[in-house]
């Protein structure tokens, strides 16, 4: 595989291809845990500060979003100053594109945008998303807490909350 790739801002025209890649990730890894009714809307509503795609061999190979977060996000409150944080989410890389640093490059892009805005990057990740947990820890992100979060009366999920390392 040609591992040359580009990370660029997502456009509305990318949403269908992003949703298709996300569906593949959901089948492969169970991310997201609950398949959204409208994947395009799910990707868009977490992207108030930006969203980026990785393009590999002309195809959408990955995605990440950045947002101010909402009441469902735990990490901003744990960081101590919700107004000073930006939430990284909706990170995924298509299974066939993994292991070539695409995830790292997407994270770098989202983190750079948060820092450009003088916001500290934080995130919540479902504990069973072990590849993502390994990626964040490899990038030096600090575990703030592990929380049992009730998503519905029938569903409680273990969530790990992280903050990016200080900028150097």
Ligand X SMILES: CC(C)(COP(=O)(O)OP(=O)(O)OC[C@H]1O[C@@H](n2cnc3c(N)ncnc32)[C@H](O)[C@@H]1OP(=O)(O)O)[C@@H](O)C(=O)NCCC(=O)NCCS
List of residues contacting ligand X (CB under 6 A)? 25, 29, 31, 89, 91-93, 98-104, 125, 129, 131-132, 134-135, 138
> Rounded CA gap, 167 and 98, in Å?
26
Nearer to ligand X, 119 or 162 (CB): 162
Min dist. Cβ of residue 90 to ligand X (A) = 7
3-state SS assignment for residue 152: strand
Taking the CA of residue 121 as centre, how many other CA atoms within 13 Å lie in the half-sphere pointing to its CB? 26
26 vs 33: CA distance, rounded Å: 8
Smallest distance from ligand X to CB 20, Å: 14
Q: Which is nearer to ligand X, 8 or 153 (CB)?
A: 8
Residue 39 CA neighbour count, 13 Å, CB half: 20
Report in angstroms how near the CB of residue 130 gets to ligand X at its nearest.
Answer: 6
7 or 15, CB closer to ligand X? 7
54 or 118, CB closer to ligand X?
54
What does 101-114 look like in DSSP terms, one character per residue? SHHHHHHHHHHHHH
């Amino acid at each position: 595989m040609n591992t040359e790739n580009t990370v660029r801002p997502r456009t509305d025209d990318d949403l269908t291809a992003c949703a298709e890649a996300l569906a593949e990730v959901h089948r492969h890894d169970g991310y997201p845990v609950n398949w959204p009714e409208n994947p395009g809307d799910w990707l868009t509503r977490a992207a108030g500060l930006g969203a980026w795609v990785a393009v590999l061999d002309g195809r959408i190979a990955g995605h990440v979003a950045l947002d101010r977060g909402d009441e469902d996000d735990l990490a901003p409150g744990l960081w101590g100053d919700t107004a000073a944080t930006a939430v990284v989410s909706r990170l995924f890389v298509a299974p066939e594109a993994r292991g070539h640093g695409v995830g790292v490059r997407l994270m770098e892009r989202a983190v750079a945008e948060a820092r450009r805005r003088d916001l500290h990057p934080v995130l919540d990740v479902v504990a069973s998303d072990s590849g993502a947990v390994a990626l964040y820890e490899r990038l030096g992100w600090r575990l703030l807490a592990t929380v049992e979060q009730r998503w519905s009366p029938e569903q409680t999920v273990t969530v790990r909350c992280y903050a990016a390392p200080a900028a150097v």
